[in-house]
Chain A
């Protein structure tokens, strides 16, 4: 499928030439269609709505088959998205249909973050496609496109107005996906109430600036039917997989004691309109819008976030190679700078620590120098004391020696006196 949008060049200076016969390129659309049919088609629907509004039943009714999934309880702690992919075939057309359901939407007490899971899911699909598109070796033509093409927003049939959760969620989703609001379980609303309800909803959507999907009116073959349908939005639908016998036909319906609501009866509900618009007339347009508007917006934001620009400061357009090279150089420079910074930081720390340790060493030496000096002083004192003692000892010794000498002398003298005395004594006798 050609995903390129070709500018209408008729007015761009291309001359037209007449043909002298049947060339045969009017088979081009057929060639294109054949290729698409061979490849198979792909369509992804997201159903957003509170638990119990009949989302799964409606899907079953729309596609005339029983899809997987069990009815969920109201006790989910958060909003999760469950998706199932099916391969359907009708005549020679193969369709890969993915149905994504929001489980637990609207069940929590605090619903502030309910929309977040949904937005994340949608963005994740865009991101996957973008990544594939940016790869060096890519296989876009065989890529299984998981981007959400249509979002059916189920509105509870209160008959009054939109809930604030609805407004908040739709506001967050309207720039990311084609929103088709529908009134669920509309067999609970009478016709007059329904008209008022629809008007109220539409005016609330307009006043809150919510952009819902408008069926395209630029193609003459479908413009009329699309514009009529646009005025019937939001569709009030009833889903049922059970069949009831009406007249001699089996039709899908819901049986009440007071009557039977026929799903495919346009007087009873807008189911047929929804099916007509969603599948039979505008499926391709929904896919195109997703790709050319919502995806491009996502891509643009993402690339700008990553720092890509289309023109450099001098308003000269960049070529892809230049852009990548510039990015790469920038990136390398950044890495190198980081490395340098880290090294510098370390050098700094080493210096600081060295200085610290040197300081400590110096202090230590100083301390010991002081101690040494003290010690020297002490030693000196000790020496002096020793010296003085020695001096005293010497003096004493001298005294002693002198005294002894005297004593000796005295003794000698005394001895001789004694001898003399003794002699005298002897002489006496």
Chain B
């Protein structure tokens, strides 16, 4: 006799260890495996032409992503908004990173820029869809993650505020991807102008309820302090450069002006280092996690809800979202079976009732006919009896009369005989 096994997850108890077990080594195991696997990251840059996007990428990754052999989109003239991706493999310290840069040439360059965000949205959605399909296959081999993990949005350094296009774009994309707004070519702003500009931008972002990427709080107080500092600097004002110049004997990346050199990696000149540290050195994994756990899940649940809730009223959809589409179909099937059973029972009942009625009617008419037949029979019998009686009476009468007649006849005969005798006698006198 097999008893049902108990399912896991009862209460969870704390236990103290009395000696070294060794699972503190788990993180190392995880480290090893992740290095062996390699990493992936997809970065999207969006902004009008000439804001220095390609230069910034090169500065960030200290490489010439776009070179003579692989010219960047900025070298080509575009009439409409395109979405182009370049994939490179970079190695550092034994760690391999497959970096995909997604560029959007032509964005905001036309005279009429309505819907220029649509190709971008389409691209992001299509990558999510690819991942969804790969995840939902029956045979899942590798699931390459090409989803866009981060979108750097370049704001032109006007010094005044966000343009309507900026607002519109960020509003449409903040639910689909991690948006990090940057002030491009920040070396055209003085520190004070930059401060004012940043304040203005953040105010407008809050006004329009745009959800830009937020740094998660950690349990570490030290880290939290740093994070708060970074938050105060948002949006980051960056400067990029492909050129190395010499300043005070040191070789640095920078932009050479007659009045000095704007150093890219100097924290007082711009926020480039902050961006690089945040984007690559500390929060790259978090960007991927948020994309996976929040943006992708949003996309997925919307997609699947659309499939299963065709024509179902919204009052029922709330509860249905906690199930898988299949479980939902199972439930619908069970409901349907119950409904059918009920319907069947009802129809059965009606059927029985009608049959009973009909049968009853038949019985009644049969009884009625029987009754009438009985009556007629009895009638007939009565008449028969009457007739019999009449005949008997008649017979009796007839018999009587005939007897009487015979007697009369006899008398007559006797009388005539006597008369004859008398006649004879009379004549003698």
Residues of A within 8 A of B (CB): 1-2, 4-10, 14-33, 35-38, 41, 43-44, 62-68, 77-93, 95-96, 98, 100, 113, 116-118, 120-121, 124-125, 128, 131, 133-138, 140-141, 144, 146, 219, 221-222, 275-276, 279-285, 288, 296, 299-300, 303-304, 306, 308-310, 317, 319-321, 323-325, 327-328, 331, 335, 338-339, 342, 346, 349-350, 353, 357, 360-361, 364, 368, 371-372, 375, 378-379, 382, 385-386, 389, 392-393, 396, 400, 403, 407, 410, 414, 417, 421, 424, 428
In the bound complex, what is the Cα–Cα distance between A80 and B5 (angstroms)?
Answer: 5
CB of B36 within 8 Å of the partner chain: yes
Nearest 7 A/B pairs, CB to CB: A134-B324, A26-B93, A284-B29, A31-B285, A280-B22, A64-B19, A121-B5
Instruction: Identify the interface centre among A25, A221, A275: most chain B CB within 10 Å of its CB.
Output: A25
Number of A-B contacts (CB under 8 A): 380
Contact between B142 and A7 (Cβ–Cβ < 8 Å)? yes
B16 sits at the interface (CB 8 A) = yes
Bits for B286-325, please: 1 = Cβ < 8 Å to A, else 0. 1011001100010011011111101000000000111111
Given A36-B30, A357-B358, A403-B405, A136-B333 contact (CB < 8 Å): no
B206 to chain A, nearest CB (A): 28
Query: Across the interface, which residues of B come within 8 angstroms of A346, CB to CB?
Result: 347, 351
Residue of B whose beta carbon sits closest to that of A376:
B376
Q: Are A90 and B304 in contact (CB under 8 A)?
A: no
Note all chain B residues with C-beta closer than 8 A to A96: 12
Which of B17, B31, B297 is within 8 Å of A63, CB to CB? B17
In contact, A6 and B29 (Cβ under 8 angstroms): no
A28-B285, A117-B3, A300-B139 known; 12 other A-B pairs, CB under 8 Å? A9-B87, A17-B90, A22-B62, A32-B285, A64-B20, A80-B3, A117-B4, A144-B9, A219-B32, A304-B138, A335-B332, A364-B366
A136 touches B325 (CB 8 A): yes
Q: Does B226 contact A (CB under 8 A)?
A: no
Cross-chain contact of B284 among A17, A25, A89, A276 (Cβ < 8 A)? A25
Contact B95 A26 (CB under 8 A): yes
**B145 adjacent to A4 (CB under 8 Å):** yes
Q: Please, which residues of chain A bring their CB within 8 A of the CB of B39?
A: 6, 25, 28
In the complex, which of the residues A33, A86, A120, A392 has the most CB atoms of chain B within 10 Å of its own CB atom?
A33
Residue B83, interface by CB 8 Å: no
- A424/B426 in contact, CB under 8 A: yes
Does B408 touch A at the CB level, under 8 Å? yes
Partner of A24, one of B129, B280, B308, B426: B280
A86-B15, A117-B5 known; A136+B387 contact, CB < 8 A = no
B26 touches A14 (CB 8 A): no
Cβ–Cβ contact A98 & B398, under 8 A: no
Q: Does B172 contact A (CB under 8 A)?
A: no
Q: Which stretch of B48-56, B150-158, B177-185, B336-344 is in the interface? A: B336-344
Pick the residue among A67, A81, A331, A396 that contacts B6 (CB under 8 A): A81
Q: Which residues of A contact B303 (CB under 8 A)?
A: 320-321
| CB <8 Å contact, B138 and A310 | yes
Which residues of chain A are within 8 angstroms of B336 by Cβ–Cβ distance?
335, 338
Q: Is B78 an interface residue (CB 8 A)?
A: no
Find out whether the CB atom of B8 lies under 8 angstroms from the CB atom of A280. no
* Cβ–Cβ contact A319 & B145, under 8 A: no
CB neighbors of A among B268-292 (8 A) = 276-277, 280-286, 288-289, 292
Ordered by A's residue number, 26 sampled pairs between the chains whose C-beta atoms are within 8 Å are A15-B87, A15-B89, A17-B65, A20-B62, A25-B39, A28-B34, A31-B285, A63-B15, A64-B18, A85-B13, A86-B12, A90-B21, A98-B8, A131-B327, A135-B324, A137-B301, A285-B29, A288-B33, A308-B138, A325-B307, A331-B329, A335-B333, A342-B340, A378-B380, A389-B394, A400-B401
